Structure 1
Amino acid sequence: MTRKSLLSFATLFTALSLSNALAHPSNEEEKEPDLSCIQQAQWIAPKGHKPLNGYELIKKAAHQKVVLLGEQHPDAVHHRWQLQTITQLYSHNPNLIIGFEMFPRRVQPVLDAWGRGELTEDEFLNQTDWEDVWKYDANLYMPIFRFARMNKLPIIALNVDRSLISDVSQNGWDKVEASQKEGVKTPRKALPDYKKSLKSVFSLHTHMKEDEKSKQRFNRFVQAQLTWDGAMAQKIADVQKMGGDPLVVAIMGSGHIVNGYGVPYQLEGLGLKATTLLPWTIGWDCRELTPTYADAIFGLEEMEEDDTPYKPQLGVRIEENEKAPGVLVAQVIEESIAEDAGLQDGDIIISAAGLDVLKPAQLIEIIQRQAPGTWLPLEINRGDKTIEIIAKFPQIEPSS
C-alpha cells in the first residue's frame, strides 16, 4: 500500500479550526467578556446557568446509553477533565466502552491488541498511524488509553478515513461510490441552525465568494460534516446493538456536540439519546453560552500558553510516485495555497526550493521550513511538460 501524507488546511479547515469555531465562536465586536456564568471546578446547566450537583449529575449520566465528552483538541486541561469524568462514570458503572473520534475504523484490530496488552505504547501509536491520521500530541490522550487498558475497557474507533470526508467535500455524498463509504449510511439532513453555524465557519475563509461555485462548495462542506457526524453516531449505535447494555462514552471535538446539532442529532435519528457534557474554559465569554449548548458544562482553568511554532501547510494530499522520481499530487485542497499557485491533481513535484524531492517526507520537510510571507518555487512534471510554479505563503500577523 502506498503511504499517504496530508499537507493541508484539511478539507474542513482542519478538525481543530472547525471544532473551535463551532464550540467557541468569537464575537465580531470587541467587548469585555462576561465571566459570570461559571466558576472553576463547577458544573452548571447552560439554561439559566443553574449550578448542578456534580455527584448526582455523573451518577445519572453513568446509567444512560451514551455520554458525549467534548474537547478543544490541543487543550491539555480539557483532556485532564475528560479522564476525570471517565473515572467518575466508571466508579458508578464499570460496564463502560470508550469511543474515540481520533481513530478510523480500519485500525480497530490495533485498538483490540492494545486492550489485550500485546503492544507497547510506541507500537500502538505507530500501528494506528497516529502522526498521519490525528497529528495532535499523543501525550494528551495516552492517560485515557492507559486507563482503558488498565481496567480492560474496550476502545472503539468511531471515525472513518479522512479520504472519505475529503471525497464528500470535493464531490458530494451522492457522487461517492458506496464501496468507498465504509458502511456509513446516508446521514440525517442538517438542522437549519446547524447549517447557519456551519455557514459562519465556512465564511471565515477569505477566498469565499457569494457565487454559484461557492454555494456548491458550501453544500458539499455541509455534506462532509454530516458524513463525519453520521459516521460516529452510527458506530456508537452499532456498539449499543451488540448487547450487554454498556455505557458508551465518546470522546470527540466539541464542535460535533454543541447545541445538539451534530452527533447528538444523528443519534436521535437512530433512536438514542445522548447526555452531552462539555468543558468550559474560564475566560470564555458567557454571552456565547446558549441554553442548548450542552446538558452540562464544567468550569476549567485556562491552558498555559502554547509555544509550538506555526507549521506552514501547502494544501495537498501527496503520495509516493512509483513510476518515476518525484512526489505525486493526489489531491489539491480547495481554497489552499496549492490551488492558488496552480497545482493540479496528478502533478509530479520533482523539486522544491531548488532541491530534488523523491519522497513525501522530503517535501514535507522543505515546506515546514518555509517562513511566513515567503515564496516557494516548485518544479513539476505535468503530462509531457516540466514547468515551474510559485507557492506564496501568507504573512502571519504578529499577536498582540
Structure 2
Amino acid sequence: MPSPTHFRALASAACRGRGAALCAAILGGLLSLPLLTGCARPAPTGEPLAVNFLPAPGELMTDAGDRLSPEAFMAKSKGAAYVLIGESHGQACDHEAERRLLALLAHEGQGPAVGFEMVPARNSAVLTDFVAGKIKPEDLEARLDWAKTWGHPFGRYLPVFLAARQWKLPVAGLNVPPEVIRRLSAAAMDNATSLATFDGPVAALSAEDRALLPRQIIEPAPEQLAFLKEVMGGHPQGRDVTNSRQTARFLLIQSVWDSAMAEQAAALRAATGRQVVVFAGTAHVEGGLGIARRIKVLDPDASILLVSPWRGDDFDAADAQVRVYCPLSFESRMGMVLEHRMLGEVNEVVVTEVRRGSRAEAAGLRPGDVVERAGGYRMTSLNALHLAGSDAFRQKKNLVLSISRGQACYSVDLGPLGQQGGQQGGQQGAQQNQPEKKP
C-alpha cells in the first residue's frame, strides 16, 4: 500500500492552483484513501432516498426529490389557478428564485397577476402605477412607505417588482397595514382568551380599521394549530405558548394575515381572469394550511400549486409540490456572506463572498473558507454567529472566527463590535438577518 507521505505529495500536486474549497475536497478524498481500503461495513440500505441528486442553489425539484427542469415547472403550473411561492424574507437566494419563477410564468399566455404579502392592499395603486411606468424604480421604495410597512431590505425585492413591470403584469398588495395589526394585537390582549373570541378584538377597533381587515377571518385548521404554536414558541421575542391570551392573540393575527391574503388573491383572480402568483412567507405557504386553505374556502374549485424553498434538511413531500434548493445564508455588513450547507452528512458554514476593502477582507477571511467556530460556539448553524456576536458585544471582546482553508486552520479576528462598522456588521446585522420560523 502506498505510504501516507506518498498520498500527501499527490494531494499537494492535485491542489496546486485550485480554490480553497475544491482543495479541501481533494485533500479530504485523497488523504482518506488508505483508511477506506479497510472499511468493510456495508452502507445502510434501508434509508429512503429523499432527494436523488445534489442540487445547486436555485435548482428546482419535485415533491419526490427529483430534478425539475424549467420546462417541466411551466407544464406543472399551467393548470393552476393560484401559484403560492414561499420565501424567508432575509434570504437572497429565495428572492432570486422568485424573480426567475415569475419570468418563467410570464412567458405563458398573457402571464399571471401577482400579489405581494410585503405590500398592504391599500398600496396596490402604487404598484399598478409602477408597472405602468408612472413611478421610477428609485422612487418605489419611498412611495410604498417600505421602511414602515415591511422593513426587510428593499433591494432584494426590487428585481421581482421590475420583472412584473417588464411583463406589464397586474399587481396588488395583499396584506393588512401593520399599524392596524398592531392595534388589533393590543385589542386582542384586552379581549381574547380563546379562539372563540376573535370577534371581541375586531369589535374593539374603529370602523376605519375594521374596513381594512378581511371580511371573513377564517380560523386555523386543527392540524395547523401545533405548527403555529411551534412558530410562536420559536419567535425571537420568546412568546409564552402556555399563556392562553398570548396564544389566542397570535392565532388571531396569523388568521387575519392568511385570510386577508387569500381574500385579496381571490379578488385579483376575479378581477383579471388570470392565474394569480402570490409571494409570501413560507409559514403562509408550506403544507397548504395558511393561504391555500383560505383560498379553498373562498374559491373552492380552484387548483393551487405550492412552491417552497428547501434548505437541505429533512425533505417533507407534504410541504409543497415544487421545491427550490436555497441554503440559508447571512450577509454581514462587515463584508462577508456565509452560507449554511446542509446536504446528507454535510453540515458546514462556508464563506461564499468577501467584499473588497471590507473589514472581513482586512481580517484575512477569504471565499471558500469553512467557518468551524465563532467565539465559543461550534459553527453548526448561522445562529452560532449571532450568539457569538452577542457575547462579544456584551463582554466588549473581539469577534473571532476559527476557519479551515484546505488542510490549514486559521484564526480570523474581526475586531470589536459596537464601533464604526462593527456593531452594524456583526451583532446587529445578525439579529436583522437571522432565519426565523415566523412568516
TM-score (norm 2): 0.57
Amino acid at match of 2:244: K
| Residues 9-43 of structure 1, C-alpha deviations (whole Å, 9 max, x = no match) | xxxxxxxxxxxxxxxxxxxxxxxxx9962522543
**SS across alignment from 2:276:** strand
If each structure's helix is expressed as a fraction of its own residues, which one has the higher value? 2
Query: Of 236, 246, 270, which aligns to 1:241?
Result: 270
Q: Which residue of 1 aligns with 2:140?
A: 124
| Residues 178-197 of structure 1, C-alpha deviations (whole Å, 9 max, x = no match) | 54131512222211221101
Bigger mean CA deviation after superposition, 182-191 or 137-146: 182-191
Kept in 2, the 8 Å contact 1:59–1:89? The answer is: no
1:87-98 to structure 2, matched below 5 A, reads 87-98=103-114
Kept in 2, the 8 Å contact 1:199–1:218? The answer is: yes
Shift of 1:117: 1.0
Asked if 1:251 is matched to 2:279, the reply is yes
Shift of 1:255: 1.2
**SS across alignment from 1:189:** coil
Decide which structure has the larger Cα Rg and report it.
2
Asked if 1:280 is matched to 2:310, the reply is yes
**SS across alignment from 2:118:** strand
Q: Which residue of 1 aligns with 2:182?
A: 166
Going from structure 1 to structure 2, the CA distance change for 1:179 and 1:291 (only over 3 Å counts) comes to same
Amino acid at match of 2:132: R
Kept in 1, the 8 Å contact 2:240–2:247? The answer is: no
Q: Which residue of 2 aligns with 1:226?
A: 255
Query: Of 323, 328, 335, which aligns to 1:297?
Result: 323
Bigger mean CA deviation after superposition, 169-178 or 191-200: 169-178
Shift of 1:59: 2.3
Q: Which residue of 2 aligns with 1:12?
A: none
Query: Of 219, 223, 226, which aligns to 1:193?
Result: 223
How far apart in 1 are the matches of 2:145 and 2:208?
Answer: 23
**SS across alignment from 1:49:** coil
Structure 2 spans left out of the alignment, 5+ residues:
1-47, 189-197, 335-391, 396-426, 432-439
**SS across alignment from 2:88:** coil
Shift of 1:291: 2.7
| Residues 250-281 of structure 1, C-alpha deviations (whole Å, 9 max, x = no match) | 11111110111110111111123321111223
Shift of 1:232: 0.4
How far apart in 1 are the matches of 2:303 and 2:60?
Answer: 20
How far apart in 2 are the matches of 1:152 and 1:372?
Answer: 48
Going from structure 1 to structure 2, the CA distance change for 1:210 and 1:299 (only over 3 Å counts) comes to closer
How far apart in 2 are the matches of 1:69 and 1:241?
Answer: 20
Kept in 2, the 8 Å contact 1:72–1:254? The answer is: yes
Going from structure 1 to structure 2, the CA distance change for 1:137 and 1:208 (only over 3 Å counts) comes to closer
Q: Which residue of 2 aligns with 1:134?
A: 150
Identity among equivalent positions (%) equals 24
Shift of 1:247: 1.3
Query: Of 109, 126, 129, which aligns to 1:113?
Result: 129
Asked if 1:306 is matched to 2:331, the reply is yes
Q: Which residue of 1 aligns with 2:78?
A: 62
How far apart in 1 are the matches of 2:275 and 2:294?
Answer: 18
Shift of 1:107: 1.4
Going from structure 1 to structure 2, the CA distance change for 1:273 and 1:372 (only over 3 Å counts) comes to farther
Shift of 1:308: 3.8
Q: Which residue of 2 aligns with 1:30?
A: none
Going from structure 1 to structure 2, the CA distance change for 1:44 and 1:207 (only over 3 Å counts) comes to closer
**SS across alignment from 1:239:** helix
Kept in 2, the 8 Å contact 1:115–1:149? The answer is: yes
How far apart in 1 are the matches of 2:68 and 2:178?
Answer: 38
Q: Which residue of 2 aligns with 1:216?
A: 245
How far apart in 2 are the matches of 1:157 and 1:261?
Answer: 21
Shift of 1:84: 0.8
Q: Which residue of 2 aligns with 1:184?
A: 214
Going from structure 1 to structure 2, the CA distance change for 1:74 and 1:65 (only over 3 Å counts) comes to same
Structure 1 spans left out of the alignment, 5+ residues:
1-33, 310-370, 375-395
**SS across alignment from 1:147:** helix
Q: Which residue of 2 aligns with 1:72?
A: 88
How far apart in 2 are the matches of 1:99 and 1:240?
Answer: 10
Going from structure 1 to structure 2, the CA distance change for 1:127 and 1:185 (only over 3 Å counts) comes to same
How far apart in 1 are the matches of 2:105 and 2:244?
Answer: 43
How far apart in 2 are the matches of 1:203 and 1:300?
Answer: 25
> For this pair of structures, how many residues does the alignment match?
275
How far apart in 2 are the matches of 1:113 and 1:156?
Answer: 11
| Residues 351-392 of structure 1, C-alpha deviations (whole Å, 9 max, x = no match) | xxxxxxxxxxxxxxxxxxxx9659xxxxxxxxxxxxxxxxxx
Q: Which residue of 1 aligns with 2:293?
A: 265
Going from structure 1 to structure 2, the CA distance change for 1:168 and 1:274 (only over 3 Å counts) comes to farther
Asked if 1:43 is matched to 2:60, the reply is yes
Amino acid at match of 2:325: G
**SS across alignment from 2:61:** strand
Kept in 2, the 8 Å contact 1:115–1:148? The answer is: yes
Kept in 2, the 8 Å contact 1:59–1:92? The answer is: no
Kept in 2, the 8 Å contact 1:71–1:278? The answer is: yes
Bigger mean CA deviation after superposition, 185-194 or 133-142: 185-194
Asked if 1:151 is matched to 2:167, the reply is yes
**SS across alignment from 2:168:** coil
How far apart in 2 are the matches of 1:63 and 1:308?
Answer: 43
Amino acid at match of 1:280: W
Shift of 1:296: 1.3
Shift of 1:67: 0.6
Q: Which residue of 1 aligns with 2:402?
A: none
